[in-house]
Amino acid sequence: MSLAFALLSVFLVLFFFWLFPLFFRGIPWQPTDMRRVRRMLEMSRIRPGEVLYDLGCGDGRILLCAAREYGAYAIGVELNPWLFLLAWFRVLFSGLRSKVRVVFGNIFSVDLSRADVITLFLFEHVNEALKEKLLRELRDGTRIVSYIWTFRGWTPKEVDRDLRLFLYVKGESEPKGSGAV
């Protein structure tokens, strides 16, 4: 096998499994540090038995923390195949398989109607594109915690400026009469 063929093969594998998913509204993976993970869950006021969805779950750290430390059921959605597998294996070996599930797919295709809490670390344009879906599928009172990026036009119920976290509540954070989340 020639060096050129080997390099081309490596490039194609990296493109397909890391860059290709980004063309479908994704963002590059930037892991959220555990201090922020715990603060996001604290801000969400998640309780045992509630259902958390982490949109773009990466390595599954929010899912595992929510299940282990808060007794929540956690569902992660991940489009990047490598990250999906990483999260899946972390769940497999965590002892929390009955409380945590990882879905390989696009966040726009997953039914979020069971969610009590949504966590996300997505670009602002992705948050904007999610508004209609959240409006359609979430129940009033569902808590949404976003890291760094806001939802334009929504009023956060709580802000942690130091950690750049924003808590929104469906039915309370949207402009009155707008029909937006």
Choice between 12 and 40, residue whose per-residue pLDDT is larger? 40
Residue 10 within any structural domain of the chain: no
Residue 1 within any structural domain of the chain: no
pLDDT at residue 144 tops 80: yes
Total domains in the fold of the chain: 1
Q: Give 29-41 pLDDT, tens digit per residue.
A: 788 989 999 999 9
Q: Give 115-135 pLDDT, tens digit per residue.
A: 999 999 988 889 999 999 999
Q: Find the helix or strand (DSSP H, E) in which 69 lies.
A: helix 61-70
pLDDT of residue 26: 53
Residue 181 within any structural domain of the chain: no
CATH of the domain at 77: 3.40.50.150
Tokens describing residue 31:
């892991």
Nearest to 84, CA basis, from 17, 11, 10, 9 = 17
Residue 120 within any structural domain of the chain: yes
pLDDT of residue 118: 98
The CA distance from 6 to 65, in Å, is 40
**Average pLDDT in the chain:** 89
pLDDT (average), residues 160-171 = 96
Domain extent, residue 89, equals 27-169
The CA distance from 7 to 11, in Å, is 6
pLDDT of residue 29: 74
pLDDT (average), residues 68-74 = 98
Residue 22 within any structural domain of the chain: no
Residue 60 within any structural domain of the chain: yes
Q: Give 43-63 pLDDT, tens digit per residue.
A: 999 999 999 999 999 999 999
pLDDT (average), residues 56-79 = 97
